[in-house]
Amino acid sequence: MTAAETAGTTDMTGTAVTRPLAGLRVVDLGQYIAAPGAGQNLADLGADVIKVEPPAGDQARGIGPLGQAMVRANNRGKRSLAVDLRTGAGRQVVDDLVDSADVLLHNFRHGVSARLGLDPDTVLARRPGLVYGFVTGFGTRGPSAYRVGLDVAAQAEFAVMDLTGEADGDPQRVGFTVADVLAAQALTSGVLAALLHRATTGRGEVVETSLMEAVVHAQAATWAEYGLSGAVPRRRGHGQALAAPAADLVRTRDGGALVLSAYTADKFAALCSLIGQPELADDPRFATNAARVAHRPQLLEVLHSTLGGLDRPQALERLRSAGIVCGAVRRFDEVVGDADVLASGLIADCRGAHAAYTAPTTPFSLGGRRPTSSPPAPEVGEHTGPVLAELGRSEADIRALTEGGVVVRADAGTAVPKEEPT
């Protein structure tokens, strides 16, 4: 069993955690987030994930702290094989690796896999039991199939930015790479479904998704809203368009802020009682959800004049005691030490010879448990020698590949050149 299969297999109590994909090998040819994020999910579930990088490494490694954060977050516990796919010997190494694998992942621009001889038809003809998963920007069937796809383009072109921000302000991107993350989750789901299908049929499958598909799917309720009403959804900042109060923001006396939702009849009545104005539940301006939506500015004036006169902890305590859905608007540094986050075991301790940091692990537990430790992201080519040895290459062969520049062995002290992202 490899280090990737055994590492991080205990929970917060030291109890062994069953990892359902232990024994499976995943070849991850991805860069940046979308495909590596799916590989990370499979690694957390126990798969031996081998990250195949060019000699200069994943392009994210060359773009400073932002790129290093991407690498650390999406490559924990993987093994790194650094190989030059532009050479025949390098392609043969990857072919041999794929022939030993259960899953192949990539996020090449459409057409690149065919040029490398790693397209689905070619690979599955040789390895029919393989699950082949990939992400593109805009799918492979439409006029944008060959466009470069990045997170911000998907947010812009598929209405995420148009729906984000103040009603009278500019469109805004979501504050993290939401399209990439959603695509990684979509690819993970498809790969797991394909592995289940393979378990019953013995046949591999091609799993395809895109940033476009991921963000459109995530807006299913908005899509249905548009279909039902015929009105184009518009950004409005705080608050939901068809319910009130719903996701509305209230600033408190101490400079904090909170959001609350109380749009059902019973919850709105409870809110009115809480703020000492029970008669508002029967006020014609607020007696129904439709009326509250129509008179939202007046409703918010009432909430700001009552709840806004309290400190945030006091307001939250009163709302929670009345059963009102609410939440403090918190900064990232407040979330890091959150007692519920820490108690969940969600944050894994990632330690190794080259790095030590924390990062979120699987967003679910199995049997009430999940791994709470993980090897950190590997250095470029850190595991090239051992992986090649597992493929049956002799030490002389490995040395020849290294000296010929086909592979990079970080364990041999090979210098890694920098490469600008494309």
- Which residues are known catalytic residues? 180
Q: Two tokens at 32?
A: 């940046």
The residue assigned the tokens 């700001």 is 304
Map the chain to HEC letters. Answer: CCHHHHCCCECCCCCECCCCCCCCEEEECCCCCHHHHHHHHHHHCCCEEEEEECCCCCHHHHCHHHHHHHHHHHCCCCEEEEECCCCHHHHHHHHHHHHCCCEEEECCCCCHHHHCCCCHHHHHHHCCCCEEEEEECCCCCCCCCCCCCCHHHHHHHCCCCCCCCCCCCCCCCCCCCHHHHHHHHHHHHHHHHHHHHHHHHCCCEEEEEEHHHHHHHHCHHHHHHHHHHCCCCCCCCCCCCCCCCCCEEEECCCCCEEEEECCCHHHHHHHHHHCCCHHHHHCCCCCCHHHHHHCHHHHHHHHHHHHHHCCHHHHHHHHHHCCCEEEECCCHHHHHCCHHHHHHCCEEEEECCCCEEEEECCCCCECCECCCEECCCCCCCCCHHHHHHHCCCCHHHHHHHHHCCCEECHHHCCCCCCCCCC
Peptide bond into 245 cis (omega under 30): yes
**Burial label, 352 (beta-carbon count in 10 A; 0-12, 13-18, 19+):** middle
Spatial CA neighbour of 239 closest among 303, 283, 181, 178:
303
236 Ramachandran zone, left/alpha/beta (phi>0; psi -120 to 50): alpha
The pair phi, psi for residue 347, each rounded to 5°, is -90, 120
